[in-house]
Structure 1
């Protein structure tokens, strides 16, 4: 028989119930007709497609109307998008990105637009209440409860995005419901109690978890779901937040000032109703401050809960609470609901009109969310880093399929359940890569013979993970595969297809992407990013991944060894490639480092012989000038004090052992870097980090700028007429230096500053071998005195070892110009003399069919002069230095 409802008091308005199946059964009909249950929860078990959903909701409202309900039913759904969609219809319902993917797109406009579009589609199907947005702050990356359902770890960012979604839902015509108060972001699962536990104090909660709820409440949030977690430091004696007056009335209502409708966690939650019983649980929830009590599916439990509430009201213990709750619910319904819309949803006709606009919005947000977290070795895009015929091994986990995969199961016959989830990704790979794609799954069983065979056949491996904190086997599998590939020098790409925190802090994984979900739409964008068809613009949400000040303190010290070219050359070449993957060099690039009179330093892994870092030094001019040629640190090992350890060893050698008085960063001879580089791949932010690093170590970073310049298409070059005229007027001829002029060249070098003479003698001695190199001279017409010179060379000359950058060019028709010098008596004409020397060299190269020429180490004052001559800036450096006295200061 069941309980009798109380006259004139719609206690049924305080319940939200669900039911089984896509049809309205007698049980739910009785709940609506007799008990005046005012709120219905729909889930995937009730919904087949948009057309059926519209008919189902209209029928529910029709039953309520004809049974005398004063207001329409609220019909609620969990439709968080991404991988949580209870209503799926590939033809009429748009697949939008989920919460964290939207946060990765970093736009409140996107959050608003997606929410409004979702609301419009739900309302068209007769659904008027979306149980969202998720306002939990993801404070613990190992949290297994919510993961990508949250919008990150920055409470203010979560609040801003959440408020945008709330506004979108409301303007789309549905009610919004923030969840899960007081926040599951820092919750842990207590295995003994079998429920989530939040161990934060009120003060800790106010610092982050409560911020989005408070701001959303002030912005007009309609309702809040209170979780079934325990909050022992707030309500010690209350097992569940949704049954706690301290949490709801004390914290949510009074402390935060929330005036909207409060929903309980489902009372069918095992730990909840087993501890209190369903009747007592309903009464406790209402007494604690819940306006609507959720009982998801069991009709028996739903009736029991209703009975408990009726008994409590009749006894007078809940009278005021019940009336206040019914008033709040009625006010919310009045704001959003009317019988005309409720019983006649717009349905398919409206969904068809919205389809194109919403599809374009979805695609745009998915494209903006895909995140390239790390790309240390510049593997991405693969279209630029691997040959077209390379074989790719794609390893994907066996996971529980999404609703969309289940509904489309007929398209993947012959596969195990879950194998078809990443089928789309393999198909997308095949679209963009002409080589072989080997695609197989992996499970908790580890590496199989199939995996080993495919590893041997492939040149690159892509491993997909899905929330490794829930699937710990994926960590072991990934480590095993990456270890094998590291030993074989085979590149690996890791893709997080759910939580970005899987490997966000593991810098040993040099190439790491995140798609935030494995919906087909996300996987398509992921493939496009991997193969260079789409530029990745997403970023991991929250504060952890924004630049922040480093806390000063002691650093680690690494064991630093001496570089030996016979042992370490190949490892150095590999390190350089990891640091500058766009720079294709051979072992010749490092030939000058074999000089037995110079010393260099390394940090290495003694087990694998892999170099983690390298520092090159150079001492010239009888020890008066030292150069720190470069410091290289493996991108995957940066911010680990390797560079600091190398810097210390190099400076100690130069200043303490070699007694140099001044150290320059970079060197003109040999020229790997002319100073602190203006980095092409990271622009100002990275440059400022480098400059600050050297400045903090005591370097003077306020000195001159230099550049290297390139003239391309030499076959089309011709000298500027006014320059030729000016050169004629100064009375100087330009020619190739003959052997009888060598003594004059030596005299010219002797006129240069003492600190330069060692380097110039070394370079000009190599050039005077006259094998693929020449010295161009400026000769005074009357006296036949050499008043200037410049070195011209190709990659096959002895000079090239002092200018290793020339080996970056594959063509043999690329030449270099270096070390122009002018007689001190003609300094007022140094600019025009240097330009004349360059013009003479270019004419010589053009006759030899060279196509390009690089001019090394151009002072910033002459840069515009050479731009006028046809050159463009290739690389730019800031010359920085440190004195021995500064380095030896105690505070250093």
Structure 2
């Protein structure tokens, strides 16, 4: 037994010696890779590049050696420490922050006004922190962050070396985008000269409430749609097929953003491959994909210029991976026929159900749509629909619905059997539909999406592939009009928002409900809608007025009887539900409808819209509706409805182009 214990001790000692040697070797290896030269040059630290080896020699060596992850990242303590950011109080390095860097491998430091006195002191403090990290064998320099938003939010202040620029709101007040760029560039240069390599600003705050605004002058503007155009998520990957955690992380983030997009909240994701371009080359869920092919300094500089819009990347993947011969062969012209109700109604019904089941976005409206949903039988609307079908089985491969009213041609819907996508069925249908609309001399504009029938108000937000498809088929999609459907899922628990009724009373706004076309009030409503909305909205109102039992119009008026706004209300089981599928129940519950609020812009337009929605919702509740659906809310007005307790059901982007866009088809 004694001998056995002795042997175990010797083996343990030997193993410990080997582990110590390996750790020393790893430290030496990391020290060789450390790119920071701590020698002072004019009071600043600077980095020296690694030695450049011949490309052929590097390629030869890489082919023989199995490239592995740096051993440091296999140590969980190191990996966690490098991902954390922390700070401390005081203008000098404390034993506590030193311990975090040396023993817990902290990789990022947040400096605040409590740490910084001047530019010179900041540079000295940063150099001391970087020196500690260097001696502790960190794989790369510390990330030093500072909150420098300008205006009243400045962690670093120095009268001589750091210029104090106005706040974000002050810059925005000038209306000059180039000035905002120059100010933030100068701020970054100033803090960068002190050793800071991460600036927490500018921010994307929005002035959402002028009465109660805790953000002060930090907000750039009050339009969340405009501000959101400047926000995106950028994920950088390197050999994600080998480092599978990168693939999993990227797909998880994209999935979460897709869920937000399906609810109308635009959240862009951009993936940058700095090594193999084939990481996500075939992943259709990734919308914007940029490949630098390597992560040299020149490549990353080019990436920054591309992200900032200095140039548009025009390279392509090598080989024929994205140029499948099968796809090229499939770009054929299919025979497109006019829709025949007796022949195609059953096939269209099956096509609708198949499309609803297979679509990645939340297209719940298609689940309750039928073939009858696309046929209006309205004498003022010229409708012609097209199909691609199997003449033997009468199965439909694709369907397109077109409507012409007044001077507007409308592509109301186009969808293809999921099993026949990427075979040019949609392209053939689109060409025929556009040719049919643009050949009419009376047509002055072509519209994508319609509220009557209200299946597709436009391109569903979140369907990036669909938007790209229409852009590739000639549509200018730069200036869409956002249209949103909203819902109260449990009307029995809904209550009137606090203060809304009092606000309406103070503004002296009144409401009434009218039915039928045979009165002067109806003419006033139709005149109001004709002046402030499109032709198909006018026909929707006319149809609602004809349905005297199940539909009505709520009007909002001033004290002098001036009309401020209108909205359609529908009780459960309304005939209009056929043409607005969100009103069709799935499980027998009663669904009340509020359709097409028309509220021209005034100083009281928000209060008028909320008042119309409030009165309509009360009517739905009185009609024993289990839920209420509000359809066709324009642009950012949906935010004021969400504040009343509604949830976003789905959002669309309506496009309008001129017939000249497709001059080659006429």
TM-score bucket of the superposed structures, by smaller chain: 0.3 to 0.5
| TM-score where L is the length of structure 1 | 0.36
Q: Considering only CA atoms, is the larger Rg found in Structure 1 or Structure 2? A: 1
